[in-house]
Structure 1
Amino acid sequence: MEWLPHAQRLAREVVRPESRWYSAVATVPRHTYVPRWWEADGDVWILRDGQSNPDAWLKNVYKDTTLVTRVDTCHADTAGIEGIGIISDGTPTSSSTLPSLVVRMYRHAMIADDHQILVTTGTGYGTALACARLGSDHVTSVDVDEWLVNIAQDRLSLMGERPRVEVCDITGPLPGEYDRIVATVSVPRVPVSWLQALRRGGRFVTTLAGTGLILTADKTADGGAVGRIEWDRAGFMPTRHGADYEHPADDVWKGAMEGEGEATSTSRYPLLYPPDAWDVMSMLALTLPGIDYRHSQDGDTRTVWLLHPDGSWARARASGFLDSPAVHQSGPRRLWDELERIRHRLNREGALPVYGAQARVDPEGTLTLSRGAWSMTVN
């Protein structure tokens, strides 16, 4: 199969020729790491098998896009063998991140040729790019999923790459010391184990769960770190600690679907689904960690739900795109009111302070963000 011209075209699209990552993208066979994937079609996921349609395989794999490789607990690699071809209403739990974003995360890390780096495994494609750039002996790759680790290690070995690959919860103890840690998963807080595993002056790059915020920080002499929220954005799946994600907000969902709630009002703003506005979503997630979003559309009628594990929920529904939505809320906190406060600030100031904020992580992992007069602590 003539894959190399496709990889070279992908490299031209996502990396400048003078970049040290250009050769890696142009020569790493992404199709080796993604032989099967799940493709969304409305509310269902359909299994795609590369070898059954090589042209579609090359077209999809050498495109700058994310390919979902695990839905709930079902790996695309094993689904065909198990006779599973369609999954309804599943949640993506692993993927091959779009190549341009992998490279951007690595560039935020400012990796030197002699650095020892720790990266997250997934399909192994990002690990393969790091090996192509630095050499396998400079790369450690970890994932909580034993199947992913084993199959990625096999595929890396097939390509002649032999980095250290370990089954490991990246939020727990790490298997070594590193100059750089690059997590292509999101974390609710900075793990203390990262600060312990980084060498002095080492850097970590990650995203904060529920946000589009990329956090870069360099280790300081006191065992903490200082850095910033980059003027960039990215969305990664959150870390999980077992076979599947927990869904604590599901218990809130039944009452939120059509319940009257404890408070009703009419919003002054057009209906917003927060994931469509990354800065608003990021600010809301920092204020209310663990918030979950759902939405539906029936003709011109759109509904947005905000759910929180503490039992709080909000439902906003509008009949047209310019109509003010009717809002129902319940629980210990008024989630939609918090969203409105963030939108008030955005309208008043023209921007939100999260992007470009300075970051300070103390040795216990507590993160403080600040920009101008604004500050927020993320525990």
Structure 2
Amino acid sequence: MNWKTHAQRLAADVVRPESRWYEPLATTPRHLFVPRWWENRDQAWKLRDGPADPEAWMRAAYADQTLVTRVGPVHADHAQTGDTVTEGKPTSSSTLPGLVVTMYRHAVIADDSRVLVTTGTGYGTSLLCQRLGDERVTSVDVDAHLVKVAGERLDSMGLHPRTAVCDITGPLPGEHDRIVSTVSVRPVPTSWLAALRPGGRLVTTIAGTGLILTADKTEDGGAMGRIAPDAAGFMRTRHGDDYDHPTQEAWEKAQADGEQVSTSRYPLLYVPDSWEVMSMLELLLPGIDYRTALDGDKRTVWMLHPDGSWARATADGFLDSPTVHQGGPRRLWDALERIRHRLNREGGLPVYGARVAITPDGETTLSRGSWSLTL
């Protein structure tokens, strides 16, 4: 397999030739880190085995796309040919290369920076090792299997960064000039502030949003920064083999008539399709789970919250006003409508470009103009 030709094409798609990230992208064998992955087909996750179809493997591995390697507790490495997973959400992946580079660019990594990153498949760690040298890179993950396998694949390339199995929301090994997390958190863990050197920078995303947060450590041990103008989404941190499923009770209740029934003034919106609206709503009501279904021209959207609140909206056509059922202690659709009112009134929402202030004890506040919110 002539993987280098594919890698060079990927590099040209992601960056310009003079970029310092061009050479790492063009010389890193991404297929080595993703020999198997899960592909979503017909509402089920089907195993794809790279060596069994080398051409498809090269196309997938060297496209600027995310490849899901773990669904629920089931890792593609441990699955059997022909396996299908019908339930569960992605819990690990190889992030699309362009987004990995975007996160590294937000970190403003210098040639002498010491950087801590999250492991995943190890592909992002490899890019960083190629750029800085492996002695400047630390790679961590909560999943011992991922750390072991990524370490072996990096070793096969002659790269030997420091690796560790740890929960990134807890104590981190060593001190670093940069921390770049490709899993999302809320709030920023205080352990990151402790592990950053004076003036160091952290880059992450806020869980459940499309918000990239960058912040530089200040003299008092806190950090100051802002929300980047571009959007990105990563899986939430997990602390075991799988995520909890706190909205199952709300899902069961959401099949019945609501305590409140109304007609929305806006066309039906599946919130994850709008980064700005989703981010604003998640900041106000963290933990909402979204589901959708299509039956001919009839579309239904559900919003579910761990506190038992739920909303179900159904519309017969794209422009028809949906009928909304709501139940539980809070009215989720009403909260969504208020955000859409603001978006229509002001032409935008204050989340992107907001300033970020993190106190030494980890309290994180976003602000823009007269708007502010503490996570």
| Residues 99-140 of structure 1, C-alpha deviations (whole Å, 9 max, x = no match) | 000000000000011111000000000000000000000000
Matched, 1:64 2:59: no
Q: Which runs of 5 or more residues in structure 2 are unaligned? A: none
Matched, 1:75 2:91: no
Name the SS of the counterpart of 1:123 in structure 2. coil
Alpha-carbon distance in 2 for matches of 1:292, 1:188:
16
Alpha-carbon distance in 2 for matches of 1:56, 1:37:
12
Alpha-carbon distance in 1 for matches of 2:342, 2:319:
21
Name the SS of the counterpart of 1:186 in structure 2. coil
Q: Residues 35 and 50 of structure 1 are in contact (CA less than 8 Å); yes or no, is this contact kept in structure 2?
A: yes
Aligned pairs (5 A) from 1:1-379: 1-80=1-80, 85-256=83-254, 258-378=255-375
Name the SS of the counterpart of 1:51 in structure 2. coil
Q: Output the TM-score relative to the length of structure 2.
A: 0.99
Alpha-carbon distance in 2 for matches of 1:190, 1:20:
29
Deviation at 1:78, TM superposition (A): 1.4
Name the SS of the counterpart of 1:184 in structure 2. coil
Matched residues, percent identical? Answer: 68
Alpha-carbon distance in 2 for matches of 1:115, 1:307:
42
Q: Residues 45 and 90 of structure 1 are in contact (CA less than 8 Å); yes or no, is this contact kept in structure 2?
A: no
Q: Which amino acid aligns with 1:210?
A: G
Q: Output the TM-score relative to the length of structure 1.
A: 0.98
Name the SS of the counterpart of 1:187 in structure 2. coil
Q: Residues 113 and 134 of structure 1 are in contact (CA less than 8 Å); yes or no, is this contact kept in structure 2?
A: yes
Q: Residues 46 and 82 of structure 2 are in contact (CA less than 8 Å); yes or no, is this contact kept in structure 1?
A: no
Q: Which amino acid aligns with 1:141?
A: S
Gap change, CA 1:41 and 1:293, over 3 Å in 2: same
Name the SS of the counterpart of 1:302 in structure 2. strand
Q: Residues 176 and 196 of structure 2 are in contact (CA less than 8 Å); yes or no, is this contact kept in structure 1?
A: yes
Name the SS of the counterpart of 2:11 in structure 1. helix
Alpha-carbon distance in 2 for matches of 1:16, 1:362:
38
Alpha-carbon distance in 1 for matches of 2:8, 2:36:
21
Alpha-carbon distance in 2 for matches of 1:250, 1:139:
40
| Residues 212-232 of structure 1, C-alpha deviations (whole Å, 9 max, x = no match) | 000000000111100000011
Q: Which runs of 5 or more residues in structure 1 are unaligned? A: none
Q: Which amino acid aligns with 2:166?
A: C
| Residues 355-379 of structure 1, C-alpha deviations (whole Å, 9 max, x = no match) | 000110111111111111111111x
| Residues 175-231 of structure 1, C-alpha deviations (whole Å, 9 max, x = no match) | 111100000011121001001110110000000011000000000011110000001
Deviation at 1:89, TM superposition (A): 2.9
Alpha-carbon distance in 1 for matches of 2:323, 2:361:
43
Q: Residues 34 and 123 of structure 1 are in contact (CA less than 8 Å); yes or no, is this contact kept in structure 2?
A: yes
| Residues 126-176 of structure 1, C-alpha deviations (whole Å, 9 max, x = no match) | 000000000000000000001000000000000000001110100100011
Alpha-carbon distance in 2 for matches of 1:84, 1:3:
26
Figure out how many residues of one structure are paired with residues of the other and give that number: 375
Q: Which amino acid aligns with 1:203?
A: R
Q: Residues 179 and 201 of structure 2 are in contact (CA less than 8 Å); yes or no, is this contact kept in structure 1?
A: yes
Deviation at 1:90, TM superposition (A): 2.8
Name the SS of the counterpart of 2:109 in structure 1. coil
Deviation at 1:16, TM superposition (A): 1.2
Alpha-carbon distance in 2 for matches of 1:84, 1:228:
46
Deviation >2 Å, runs of 4+: none
Q: Which amino acid aligns with 2:280?
A: M
Q: Residues 44 and 90 of structure 1 are in contact (CA less than 8 Å); yes or no, is this contact kept in structure 2?
A: no
Alpha-carbon distance in 1 for matches of 2:356, 2:82:
45
Alpha-carbon distance in 1 for matches of 2:82, 2:239:
25
